[in-house]
Amino acid sequence: MNKALSRLLCAAGHRVELAASGPEALFCFQRERFHLVITDYQMPGMRGDELAVAIKALAPSQPILMLTAYAEHLRSSSGSLCAVDMVIDKPCLAKELFAAIEKLLEKP
């Protein structure tokens, strides 16, 4: 999924940096800031909600989008997505993804 998503975003003109795990993504974020962080819930080493909390501790206004097969379950659980700005069900349509990206990037 990572590589396919990366190709889709690059084809749309976005610059993409991939991370193979939550800890690697956090390390990348500590070195460089990004316009948007896209994460999954299930990742090696750290769940996406944990990554979001760690990133928001460093940059509270950082937009974070989560793509996950567990969206319904996560939406119904209390507080697990407090640091995530938007959740999209996987699989999703490209137009849904790009609409979410546009919405998150227009935030002040």
Beta bridge partners of 68: 89
Count of alpha carbons within 13 Å of 81, Cβ hemisphere only? Answer: 22
Strand order of the β-sheet with 37-40 is 37-40, 64-68, 86-89
Per residue of the chain (108 residues), give pLDDT as tens. 588 889 999 999 999 999 999 999 999 999 998 999 999 998 999 999 999 999 999 999 999 999 988 776 666 665 668 899 999 988 888 999 999 999 999 855
Give dist(CA 23, CA 28) in Å, integer: 9
Provide the total of helices (H) and of strands (E) in the chain, helices listed first.
5, 3
Check: CB of residue 66 under 8 Å from CB of residue 48: yes
